[in-house]
C-alpha cells in the first residue's frame, strides 16, 4: 500500500509542467506588493469611540484632534494617539488595599486645622481629560501634578477651618472651596485635566487617644447644649410672666402719673383762682384762708386756754364736747 502511494506521487510530479523562473519571480513580486498594499491600507484607517479623542500628528506636530468616528491617516507619515476622555477617580489621603479596604496615607492624609489640631481627612477626586493635546504634551505626568494640586488645595482650605467644623458642619464648604481652588490652579497649569467633583470620604482624629479626647469633648459639648436648652426653656417659660408684670407696673405708673398730673393741674387752677381773689381783696382773702386752715388743723389738736397767770388750764375739747351735747339735746 505504501509503495503504491509513492508511485502515485512520482507520477503527479512528472506530469506537472516545469514553469519559467521569470514568471515565478513576477508572481512573487506581485504577491508581495499586494500584501504590502493591504497592510498599509488597513493601517490607514482608524476608529475613534465615544469614550476617546484621537490626536493626529505629522512630523511631530499636532495637526488635528478627532472625536468619535472613522478616520483616514497618511500611512507612515501621520501618527495617531488615543486619549481616554471618560471620568476617572482616585483617592486623596488614602490608598485601597487588595481586600478593598481604605488605608490612611499618613504623609498626605493628616492635616492641621486652624485651631492647631491634627485631622485625618480623606477625599475622593473625580477628574477627566479636558484638552487631549495638553494632556499628552504639556507635562510628563499630568496625574501626579493633579494629585499634588489637590493636596495643596486641601491643606490650604482645611487650615482655615477648626477641627470641629472640618468634622461636622463645614464638609460641604470644604469640598466647594477645594474644587474651586483646584479648577483655578489647573487652568493656570494647563495640563489638560479638569476636576469633575471632589468629596470628603471620611474625617476623624488620627489616633485612638485623640479620638477618645474628642469623644470627651463632644460629650461635654452635648452637656453644655443641654444646659443651654434647659435655660432657654426656662427663659421662654418665665419671660411672658415677667413681661406681663412689667406691663402691669408700667400701666400702674402711667395711671399714677396721669393722676398726679391731673391733681397738680387742679391745684394750679385753684391757686390761680385764689390768687385772683387775693389781688382783689387781700385782707379778706387772708382771713378766709386762715379760717379754712384752722378748720383743717384744730380737729386734730388739743387746745388749752390759759390766762398766763393761773395754774388752772381748761382744755378746749371739753367745752366742745359740752357744746356738742347741749346742741344735741
SS3 72: strand
- The 10s digit of each residue's pLDDT in 15-59 is 444 555 666 666 667 767 766 666 665 567 889 999 999 999 999
Determine the number of helices (DSSP H) and then strands (DSSP E) in the chain: 10, 13
Question: Which cell numbers hold the place of 187?
Answer: 487652568
C-alpha cell at 220: 461635654
Locate 45 and state its grid cell: 484607517
Vertex 207, ends 205 and 210: CA angle to 5°? 65
Is 197 a residue whose pLDDT tops 90?
A: yes
* Residue 227 pLDDT: 87
**Which among 171, 85, 94, 90 is positioned nearest to 126, based on CA atoms?**
90
pLDDT at 29: 73
Give the whole-angstrom CA distance, residue 151 versus residue 129: 19
- Please write the tens of the pLDDT for every residue from 66-108: 999 999 888 878 899 999 999 999 988 887 766 666 677 777 7
Distance CA 218, CA 224 (A): 10
For residue 86, count CB atoms less than 10 angstroms from its CB and return exposed for 0-12, middle for 13-18, buried for 19 or more: exposed
Residue 142: how many other CB atoms lie within 10 Å:
19
- The tens digit of pLDDT for each residue in 99-148 reads 666 677 777 778 889 988 888 889 999 999 999 999 999 998 999 999 99
Cell of 307: 390766762
Predicted confidence at residue 116, as pLDDT, reads: 85
pTM over the 0.75 mark: no
Q: Do the Cβ atoms of 68 and 50 come closer than 8 Å? A: yes
The Cα-based distances of 313 to 47, 302, 324 in angstroms read 144, 12, 21
pLDDT single digits (tens) 227-277 = 888 888 888 888 888 888 888 898 889 888 888 888 888 888 888 887 787
> 47 with 69: CB under 8 angstroms?
yes
Mean pLDDT (the chain) is 79
Amino acid at each position: 500500500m505504501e509503495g503504491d502511494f509513492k508511485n502515485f506521487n512520482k507520477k503527479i510530479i512528472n506530469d506537472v509542467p516545469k514553469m519559467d523562473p521569470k514568471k515565478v519571480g513576477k508572481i512573487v513580486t506581485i504577491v508581495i506588493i499586494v500584501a504590502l498594499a493591504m497592510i498599509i491600507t488597513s493601517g490607514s484607517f482608524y476608529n475613534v469611540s465615544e469614550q476617546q479623542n484621537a490626536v493626529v500628528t505629522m512630523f511631530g506636530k499636532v495637526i488635528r484632534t478627532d472625536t468619535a468616528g472613522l478616520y483616514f491617516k497618511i500611512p507612515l507619515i501621520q501618527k495617531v494617539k488615543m486619549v481616554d476622555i471618560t471620568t476617572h477617580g482616585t483617592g486623596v489621603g488614602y490608598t485601597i488595599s487588595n481586600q478593598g479596604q481604605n488605608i490612611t496615607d499618613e504623609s498626605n492624609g493628616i492635616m492641621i486645622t486652624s485651631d492647631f489640631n491634627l485631622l485625618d481627612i480623606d477625599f475622593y477626586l473625580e477628574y477627566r481629560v479636558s484638552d487631549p493635546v495638553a494632556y499628552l504634551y504639556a507635562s510628563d505626568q499630568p496625574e501626579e501634578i493633579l494629585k499634588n494640586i489637590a493636596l495643596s488645595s486641601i491643606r490650604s482650605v482645611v487650615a482655615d477651618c477648626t477641627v470641629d467644623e472640618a468634622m461636622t458642619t463645614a464638609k460641604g464648604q470644604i469640598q466647594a472651596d477645594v474644587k474651586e481652588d483646584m479648577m483655578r490652579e489647573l487652568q493656570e497649569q494647563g495640563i489638560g485635566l479638569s476636576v469633575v467633583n471632589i468629596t470628603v470620604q471620611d474625617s476623624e482624629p488620627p489616633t485612638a487617644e485623640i479620638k477618645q479626647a474628642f469623644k470627651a469633648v463632644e460629650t461635654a459639648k452635648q452637656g453644655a447644649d443641654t444646659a443651654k436648652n434647659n435655660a432657654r426653656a426656662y427663659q421662654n417659660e418665665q419671660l411672658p410672666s415677667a413681661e406681663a408684670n412689667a406691663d402691669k407696673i408700667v400701666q400702674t405708673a402711667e395711671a399714677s402719673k396721669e393722676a398726679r398730673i391731673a391733681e397738680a393741674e387742679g391745684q394750679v387752677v385753684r391757686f390761680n383762682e385764689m390768687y385772683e381773689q387775693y389781688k382783689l381783696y387781700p385782707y379778706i382773702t387772708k382771713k378766709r384762708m386762715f379760717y379754712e386752715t384752722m378748720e383743717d388743723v384744730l380737729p386734730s389738736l388739743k387746745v388749752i386756754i390759759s390766762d398766763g397767770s393761773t395754774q388752772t388750764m381748761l382744755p378746749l375739747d371739753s367745752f366742745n364736747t359740752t357744746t356738742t351735747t347741749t346742741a344735741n339735746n
